[in-house]
Amino acid sequence: MQRQLRTPEEVAAFKAANLAANARNKQVVVIKAERPAPRPTQRQQFAADLRETEDMIRAAKRQGLLQAIPALIGRHNTLTALVNNAALT
């Protein structure tokens, strides 16, 4: 099946006819995109990571995963320094 070539005038008339037909049958709904939620500041992100790390340390202690605690404490110290430095800027 071959496509029929249409002139710009025929395309415009077809679109106008479709719009007129749809306007009689339907209401036009305009959808606006919402603004994206604001990203957290760097300090807020560091603080959230710090709370998560503290929870992981508690869970490691509770489950007896003693080999993971030194790495988690190192991460905790790093994040504490980052939160404190982010608070200064």
pLDDT at position 24: 63
Q: Which pLDDT band holds residue 75 (cuts at 50, 70, 90)? A: very high
pTM: 0.55
Q: CB count, 10 Å around CB of 53?
A: 19
For 61, the token pair is 């202690």
The residue among 77, 80, 8 whose CA lies nearest residue 43 is 80
Domain locations in the chain?
Answer: 42-88
Highest mean pLDDT among 14-23, 34-43, 68-77: 68-77
Q: What is the pLDDT of residues 33-59, one digit of tens each?
A: 888 888 988 889 999 999 999 999 999
